[in-house]
Structure 1
Amino acid sequence: MSQNKCVLLVVDMQNDFISGSLAMKDCPAKQDGNHTIHVVNKLTSLPNWDLIVYTKDWHPADHISFVTNAYKFERHEESTIDPTSAEVYDKVVFNVDGNQRREQVLWPPHCIQSSWGSELHPDLLVANGSHIVTKGMDKHVDSYSAFFDNQHLQETELRELLQRNNITHVFVCGVATDVCVNFTVQDSLDLGYQTYLVEDACAGVSWQNIEVQVKKLVEKKANIIQSDQVSAELEKLHNDKTTVTVPCNHD
């Protein structure tokens, strides 16, 4: 049992998603991640966070999600798209790891380990005492969520970190609203955390998909909140002395 403790989870605010190979401003929704940075920085500067965590895509150069690597992976019989002629945003079905079916949306190469594109954007305020969680290191499977890969085969250290700090409430911002932010919010809800999507502190890929995914998150009982509401919500939670149950660390 614990009193309310809150984490700000800043998802993938990296160079490649802001101004690099997969910049949000070049995606169909045309949302500029640069405009998101100052909103995220205001959130980071709020005084009542018990923990701040930044996530990073951290892909090997031969990652399955890169359109330039699609030809290297075996096509599954169900795939309607030939990997050798696939394009960005195509959804291909591969055989991987001993004939396992793996459905994959293809993206430009991005956030390759130790590259400029994988670094957090230089204008992003990185709080003292914060933590960085990396994801997407296995070349055979993508990892949108900050908690698990897309197949839930492997888990990052995020849940253990939240447990260690007795976190009860998770506030999520960053990029992309309809991809990594969305899957992170979903997993946070499924793990039992009271979860907030800070809507105006995010940027997404496709307007249509943003609307669809946010609607689904609302149906799953996510709290959709704007950045100018976060300070009051944090103060309310910290002033609430009701004892709450910290989500269990085991499935």
Structure 2
Amino acid sequence: MAIMDLDHTTDILGIVDVQPTFMPGGELPVAEGDAVVPVINRLLAGPFRHAFATQDWHPPGHSSFASSHPGRQPFETVRMPYGPQTLWPDHGIQGSPGAALHPGLAQARIELIIRKGFDPEIDSYSTFFENDRTTSTGLHGWLQARGVRRIFLTGLATDYCVAWSAEDAVRLGYRVTVIEDACRGIGLPAEGGTTIDAARRRLAGMGVEFTASSAFV
């Protein structure tokens, strides 16, 4: 694998939803979700000088929770005003221990933390927009002000928040690379495999690159 050359003035590491709520023992666990923490910490300790992070930050009773829809179960899909919505177990509740950044995550180089999903009526996967696709998180403006042109994404989950962030970043004009061993996915059944497979095909078709943490020294 080729070694990646970084430009510390225009490259940044994105750390998506590395929170206990998405890890084994959490409310919406991603298999091996906690395995991303040491990988991301190695990236923060050396190759990357700049990083941002995001947190799912839902109020109780959020509309994306299955518990807010009587008779519905987690992972069912409903129609919301902004489109199809997967229903989730209650997770990422504002102020809860599960919604904090993982306590083992090295945060010295994290310059911005974006909290998303706090509107009770709109879910938020992407680091750039709520799921209505029009409400901005403010991340794009912050990145532009700093001259960022290339984003390397890590975190949880590969097939949802990481994938949607990568898609929006490409649409906004950034070069995007997903560091695969610094991500883990949910992997729900989907046409042609799982939601992880579908997301990877979709992102590759948009020009997103994929690499491993070993490509950075």
Q: Structure 1-normalised TM-score?
A: 0.78
Q: How many residues get paired? A: 205
Which one has a larger percent helix, Structure 1 or Structure 2? Answer: 1
Amino acid across the alignment from 1:226: A
Tell me, yes or no, if structure 1 residue 108 matches structure 2 residue 94.
no
Deviation at 1:48, TM superposition (A): 4.2
CA–CA separation in structure 2 for the residues paired with 1:204 and 1:230? 22
The alpha-carbon distance between structure 1 residues 175 and 3, as it changes in their structure 2 partners (threshold 3 A), is closer
Aligned pairs (5 A) from 1:1-251: 5-18=10-23, 19-25=25-31, 32-49=32-49, 51-70=50-69, 84-94=70-80, 100=81, 102-128=83-109, 130-206=111-187, 208-231=194-217
CA–CA separation in structure 1 for the residues paired with 2:124 and 2:10? 26
Per-residue CA deviation, residues 139-162 of structure 1 (Å, 9 max, x unaligned), is 111100000011113101211110
Deviation at 1:102, TM superposition (A): 4.0
> Secondary structure of 2:216's partner?
helix
Deviation at 1:4, TM superposition (A): 5.8
1:4·1:169 contact (CA, 8 Å) conserved in 2? no
CA–CA separation in structure 2 for the residues paired with 1:69 and 1:40? 34
CA–CA separation in structure 2 for the residues paired with 1:101 and 1:142? 9
1:112·1:118 contact (CA, 8 Å) conserved in 2? yes
* Identical-residue share of aligned pairs (%): 34
2:126·2:165 contact (CA, 8 Å) conserved in 1? yes
Which ranges of structure 2 fall in alignment gaps of 5 or more residues? 1-6, 189-193
> Secondary structure of 2:101's partner?
coil
Per-residue CA deviation, residues 56-93 of structure 1 (Å, 9 max, x unaligned), is 011111211111112xxxxxxxxxxxxx2111100012
Deviation at 1:103, TM superposition (A): 2.2
CA–CA separation in structure 2 for the residues paired with 1:48 and 1:204? 23
Amino acid across the alignment from 1:88: P
Q: Which entry has the higher C-alpha Rg, 1 or 2?
A: 1
The alpha-carbon distance between structure 1 residues 4 and 120, as it changes in their structure 2 partners (threshold 3 A), is closer
CA–CA separation in structure 1 for the residues paired with 2:110 and 2:210? 27
CA–CA separation in structure 2 for the residues paired with 1:147 and 1:168? 15
Per-residue CA deviation, residues 123-174 of structure 1 (Å, 9 max, x unaligned), is 1111245211111111111100000011113101211110111001000000
Deviation at 1:3, TM superposition (A): 9.1
CA–CA separation in structure 2 for the residues paired with 1:48 and 1:148? 24
Per-residue CA deviation, residues 173-193 of structure 1 (Å, 9 max, x unaligned), is 000000000000000011000
Of the structure 1 ranges 159-168 and 2-11, higher mean CA displacement relative to structure 2 is found in 2-11
1:141·1:149 contact (CA, 8 Å) conserved in 2? yes
The alpha-carbon distance between structure 1 residues 129 and 91, as it changes in their structure 2 partners (threshold 3 A), is closer
The alpha-carbon distance between structure 1 residues 14 and 48, as it changes in their structure 2 partners (threshold 3 A), is closer
Q: Structure 2-normalised TM-score?
A: 0.89
> Secondary structure of 1:85's partner?
coil
Displacement over 3 Å in runs of 4+:
none
CA–CA separation in structure 2 for the residues paired with 1:55 and 1:101? 22
CA–CA separation in structure 2 for the residues paired with 1:101 and 1:159? 21
CA–CA separation in structure 2 for the residues paired with 1:151 and 1:89? 19
